[in-house]
Structure 1
Amino acid sequence: MTLPEYLHHTFPTLLLRPPLFYSWDIGIRFELGVNYAYHNVYENCPYLQGVNRRAITLFKTLHAPNDDIYIVVDVNDFGDGGAFKRKLNAFSKYVKNKSLLYKLRQNTIPYVFPEDDENDVYRTHRFFLKCKTSDFAYVPMIKAICHQDMGLKPRIFHRVYFINTSKHTIFHIYDDRGCDLLATSPETIRGIYDSYPHWILDYDRAKIDQVFL
């Protein structure tokens, strides 16, 4: 089953774009960054240590080493060819076995934010790689995702989704502020809901609690 087929079958009404939490009935929105101060952000600072700890802990709790997953990277193309001029390091830097990169696939789809594309010239290039959790170095990759707005390197600007086809979940760190976790069943993610209630974003807590009643 290809990625588009899997998404259509398993998450049939979901458009894979942020904010995911508000586009699906079963999910959790976690807060990653706490006590942010723009003048006090530097490599390995306490703020980023906290962000990384939460993001990595949630990922590791959700994804077993032998789970089948898709790593999905969306690259914006604004009609200037820039998407292909830049080397896509989001896979090559973090996949342990480089031969897996031969399985990397790409689909060009309509821009996932059509409301921002009045002339219909933008596109989204969706790259995806099917592998096991243990096939890639997720700790440095997650740190690079969390760095995207921090002015620190390494960083990944593109949107990255981790789609677990063994558990039927989608995990998306939208930036250092937080992440979304979707599932096809509340029971699949009840354990992570019970284990980290103090990390749930208070703004959406009431809606999230309703899912697990």
Structure 2
Amino acid sequence: MKTQERLNDILKNILEQYGVEDKTLNRLTHKYMLHIDELSEKYQYLEDGSLNETCIEECLQKATEIYRFINFSDNLLVIYDNLFGQENEREKEFLESTLTHISKYDTYKLKWQYPIYKNDLPIHQDNEIYTCIRHLYRVKEINIQKLFREIILSDIGGEMDFCSSIFIIDINSGCIFHLYDDRGIYILALKEEYLTDVWGEFHDSVFTLDYQNFKIKVNTLYWIDETKDDPNDLCLHGDITVTIGGEELSSSCTVSAAALRMLKTLWEDHLLTKGGQILPCCGNFMIPNETLDEVEIIGCDTGIDWTILHEDGMIKLITEKENTVFVYYLQYKEEVLRFVDMVENYYKISLPKNIPEDEFERNGYMAFWNEWHRRRGRKSEK
């Protein structure tokens, strides 16, 4: 970055890479985002109403551990969004006391509105328009324990009102760390690989509150005759239960077609359609493209389907009964890939398939696996 570049220009450039215009960062979502919502299992208060210092220390320890694990560079942009424009010099001075080597400071105002939700869906904006005073600091280091403690205390009787207001951005990578209060942390990244190690290290703390919003349960897998391993049967079947919110969708379906269709939804939206259901009864007619790297699977009109949309960095699932839930993209991806790998492994432990002599059928089967492995991120083995 050029030293004369304004901090608001640096921020706007990073936000453009996230696909959004300049906005209050407490509403920022992205495809590559982790939500860690259990910093401590203890209750914030003791029986006498006083603060539970053990809980506070556990929150502080977890937040500090996660931040240090990410290994941010020394080229940091610290954002303090005073959301309601009530300037508090004491809070500003405290924040600055936690920052080391402030090389540049900037401030400006922006307007924003609360979205109004119904059934977890934003239906319109609040009529009231708020003015956010944004403070931006370019720094090398942060006294994170001192700062994080006050953020954690913000929602439970602390002296500073830093709730949902402080954002630490690594200018080099664009990663954003947002400890919003004692309840949790959001981490956003421009590339999935920036979050891979974090997710692996803190997996049990990620998405814990809403992890059951989308689950795929494989009850049984079998070939069409249900009695033996059949090397002539190219399509795997099974009994599947998919949970979307509180709704359970159970089907005896062609799971090989279901898995590929779910795999496609990691990149594409899926709308309700006849013959192309996510859990199809039939899926044995495969039409290859010319290069044999994609296949269209045609089935009957029987099956279970739901809408899958990529929206504001989240996956939006809408059942045929119009039940709607939002799932973090990485959470959705993990569940889909777990199902995909389970189906593929069943093929691997079964007898090798007898490849059809008919050219059209053979090309369809080859295209199926070529697309499968291309989307799964590995070379075809079929």
Normalised by the length of structure 2, the TM-score is: 0.47
* 1:88 partner SS: helix
1:183 to 186, 189, 193: 189
Structure 1 position 174, deviation (Å): 1.5
What CA distance in whole angstroms lies between the structure 2 residues aligned with 1:87 and 1:201? Answer: 31
User: Percentage identity across aligned positions?
Assistant: 17
Query: Distance between the aligned counterparts of 1:84 and 1:154, measured in 2?
Result: 9
2:79·2:134 contact (CA, 8 Å) conserved in 1? yes
More displaced 10-residue stretch of structure 1: 135-144 or 107-116 = 107-116
- Tell me the alpha carbon deviations over residues 154-183 of structure 1, each in whole angstroms, 9 at most, x when there is no partner: 663560011112222111111101111111
**Match for 1:72 among 79, 85, 88?**
79
In structure 2, how many angstroms separate the alpha carbons of the residues matched to 1:117 and 1:89? Answer: 33
**Structure 1 pair 172–131 and aligned structure 2 pair: CA distance change class (3 A):** same
What residue is the counterpart of 1:89 in the other structure? 93
Distance in 2 separating the partners of 1:202 and 1:169: 22
Matched with 2:168 is 162
The gaps in structure 2 that reach 5 residues or longer are 116-124, 215-327, 338-382
Q: Which residue of the other structure, out of 18, 30, 33, is the alignment partner of 1:27?
A: 33
Tell me which of 151, 157, 171 is aligned to 1:151.
157
1:59 aligns with 2:60: no
* CA 108–197 in structure 1, closer or farther in 2 if over 3 Å, else same: same
**Other structure's SS at 2:168 match:** strand
Q: Distance in 1 between matches of 2:168 and 2:68?
A: 12
Q: 1:203 aligns with which of 200, 209, 215?
A: 209
Instruction: Say whether 1:9 aligns with 2:19.
Output: no
Q: Rate the CA distance shift 1:92–1:36 in 2: closer, same or farther, 3 A.
A: same
Q: For 1:85 and 1:28, how far apart are their aligned partners in 2?
A: 32
Higher relative contact order (CA 8 A, sep 6+): 1
Q: Is the 8 A contact 1:173 1:179 kept in 2?
A: yes
Match of 1:104 in 2: 105
Q: Secondary structure at the match of 2:166?
A: strand
48-57 or 157-166: bigger deviation:
157-166
* Closer/same/farther in 2, CA of residues 165 and 36 from structure 1, 3 Å limit: same
What is the aligned partner in structure 2 of residue 126 from structure 1?
A: 134
CA apart distance, 1:13: 2.5
Matched residues in 2 for 1:87 and 1:37: separation? 23
Distance (whole Å) between structure 1 residues aligned to residue 208 and residue 95 of structure 2: 33
- Say whether 1:194 aligns with 2:200: yes
Deviations 1:174-195 (A, max 9, x none): 1101111111111011011011
Q: Over aligned residues, Cα RMSD in angstroms? A: 2.7
In the TM superposition, 1:31-50 aligns within 5 A as 31=37, 32-40=39-47, 42=50, 45-50=53-58
Are the aligned partners of 1:74 and 1:127 in contact in 2 as well (CA < 8 Å)? yes
- For 1:13 and 1:142, locate their aligned partners in 2 and report how far apart those are by CA, in whole Å: 27
Give the alignment's TM-score, normalised by structure 1: 0.79
Report the more deviating stretch, 172-181 or 69-78: 69-78
